[in-house]
A and B are shown apart, each in its own frame.
Chain A
């Protein structure tokens, strides 16, 4: 292993030039680095002293500083938006001690397919705020699919519009601690008679994640009435790679069951929040 150097910048201005160095990476909570190995790592930038641990919720948007841990996100969102999809998703991610270490920025920078953060952020149409060589503000789906945007760049925040949604979140696991084989996120908003908006996202499928726009269009702007969710869920064109001990067809079947439950909530067949996670 190469000698590892730690950098402890106090400001973003001090931190950004360090990203230009070969083999130097940001350190948020460290869990991904420790799991992934340190063979190529020559230096780590400890982000602890930077002002990236803020949570901001205004009337119109929510901004998550990149150094916030999953536990800190859920503690804050529980106060401002109880029932929020991120509260559901991040409360059951990993384990209690790991939720105290895994950071928003660390996850967004690496975007593992099993993340419980990715699906809800795509459904919320979140934006990633970055600084450095490729600094800017990017839609989360673009940021996730273009690794070039992440090079020599630091995620400083993730933000999304603050709106009230009915939410459904499902993670397909064999035991609670397991990494999810896939996740399904369904957000919906209804007036008494009309489905105003729907967003449906699956992660863990081929291509890492997918937003199911054709399916959303079957519901958006339509009368809110019971529909044959089982039949509709079969129309979702989502494929899964075979995973360790899990056949692709089996996963596709489990996905349709989870999606059916999520759609039942959109159409009002089951109350919001029932049957998820």
Chain B
């Protein structure tokens, strides 16, 4: 199949097999910030935003994502101009091996876009589709709280 995708605001044409997942197609075409983890929708390493909705890209057929707006973690900020969520993850030490981080950052970004001042319980619920095997979540939750404060001009 040959289809056009909009990734981080830019149009790309990819050739892929009809059964391939969005995760597979993106990684083959250089978007390796989308991590390949469990492949079953449980770990959240492959999260991205599809038309603004947080989804597991391993659970999306690439064929159904053509023409939709895809945002990876690189689409919300860069190393020179990071998003407050990305900055907060660094500042609080919420990044250890870094494998889960793109998914965690996007889950936090998605949450704060819908709920700028979440409670701890709401943060935990928003991260219910993300697994981290290094930091134990405390720093990650702290990072989301810090990003929330900074984004509301309070931090």
Contacts and interface: CB of A to CB of B under 8 A. Distances in A.
Contacts of A176: 128
B141 to A, nearest CB: 15
Interface string A1-19: 1011110000000000000
A174 B18 CA distance: 37
Interface stretch (B28-36, B54-62, B83-91): B54-62
A34 B127 CA distance: 22
A95 B19 contact: no
A220 interface: no
Given A3-B18, A97-B44, A97-B129, A48 B64 contact: yes
Nearest to A29: B59
Contacts of B18: 3-6
A227 interface: no
B151 interface: no
Contact of A96 (B40, B63, B64, B125): B125
**Best-surrounded residue of A6, A27, A48, A96 (most CB of chain B within 10 A):** A96
B107 A97 contact: yes
Interface string A177-192: 1000000000000000
Contacts of B47: 97
A98 B53 contact: no
Interface residues of A, number: 26
Interface in A122-167: none
A98 B56 contact: yes
Chain B: interface size category? 20 to 34
B41 interface: yes
Interface of B is mostly: mixed
A213 interface: no
A48 B51 CA distance: 13
A4 B54 contact: no
A108 interface: no
**Best-surrounded residue of B18, B40, B58, B125 (most CB of chain A within 10 A):** B18
B126 interface: yes
Contacts of B44: 95, 97
A38 interface: yes
B26 to A, nearest CB: 15
Contacts of A29: 59
Interface of B: 1, 17-19, 21, 40-42, 44, 47, 53-56, 58-61, 63-64, 107, 110, 125-129
- Which 6 pairs show the lowest CB-CB distances between chains A and B? A95-B129, A4-B18, A100-B53, A97-B129, A95-B128, A97-B54
